[in-house]
Amino acid sequence: MKGIIWITAGAIGSLLILLIGFEAYAVIRARARTPMIIAQNKVRPITLAQVGKRHLAMLLRVEGTGFFHHRGVGNVTPGQGRTTMTQALVKRLYFDGGIQTGFAKVEQSLIARYVFDPAVPKRDQLEMFLNLASFGTIRGRPVIGFENAALTFHGKPIGSLDDRQFLSLIAMLEALVAGRCKPRDLTDVSYEDCPLGWLTQRMIDRRLARRCA
């Protein structure tokens, strides 16, 4: 009996060592890719100034509580599917935006904490998020970035949106990341076809506006 216990313990220990080694290799590999990733995203069409301080504050209240203080992980918010904006960027830049589960989710968090966050200043991260956030696909065309989303769903540049319109874009991100729904068409800026009224106008008015008051 003791022999079986020792064999089992040894097997588990060996597996843990292998997993730690694999994740360490993933972090090293990600660190090697990071300079190229940063260079590829150095030119960013949307700037923080274009969005404006008020709307940036709204975004951070909903999606990034503690954004300027956390180290890539932790201090999760109700937005972004319990994922920090740094982790969302890592998912898009290192994993092609796919949903990460299990060990891949662990790898994503390690890269966010030990690779991406130390290498990229917070203001640059925020600007990258504004340019790379995915708003789904409309008629076979991906809608990437807040500027593109503003033009697609509201017919005006990001700097011309009022508070309600900007909040609707944040609401879209919450629904898409949570995997709960997608826009019906270009006019579905409130996602009213979502199950259980996930993104009704009432939610935008009360839930999001309350956080940004």
| Digit-coded pLDDT (tens) for 44-101 | 899 999 999 999 998 988 776 688 888 878 755 444 446 788 988 998 999 875 555 6
Given its phi and psi angles, is residue 133 left (phi above 0), alpha (psi -120 to 50 degrees) or beta?
Answer: beta
Based on its alpha-carbon atoms, the radius of gyration of the chain, rounded to whole angstroms, reads: 20
Chain centroid offset of residue 169 CA: 14
| pLDDT attached to residue 137 | 80
| pLDDT attached to residue 51 | 95
Higher pLDDT, 149 or 184: 149
| pLDDT attached to residue 208 | 52
| pLDDT attached to residue 200 | 41
- Rounded distance between C-alpha atoms, residue 174 and residue 79, angstroms: 5
Higher pLDDT, 32 or 211: 32
| Digit-coded pLDDT (tens) for 11-46 | 676 666 766 666 777 888 989 999 999 999 988 899
Residue 208 φ then ψ, to 5°? -75, -45
pTM: 0.74
Q: What is the mean pLDDT of residues 133-154?
A: 87
| pLDDT attached to residue 79 | 44
Residue 137 φ then ψ, to 5°? -125, 130
Residue pair 135/173 in contact (Cβ under 8 Å)? The answer is yes
Give the confidence band of 151 by pLDDT, cuts at 50, 70, 90. very high
- Rounded distance between C-alpha atoms, residue 166 and residue 93, angstroms: 24
Strand partners, 141: 138
| Digit-coded pLDDT (tens) for 188-209 | 444 444 443 444 444 444 445 5
- Rounded distance between C-alpha atoms, residue 188 and residue 31, angstroms: 40
Helix (H) or strand (E) holding 56: helix 53-63
Higher pLDDT, 167 or 10: 167
Give the confidence band of 173 by pLDDT, cuts at 50, 70, 90. confident
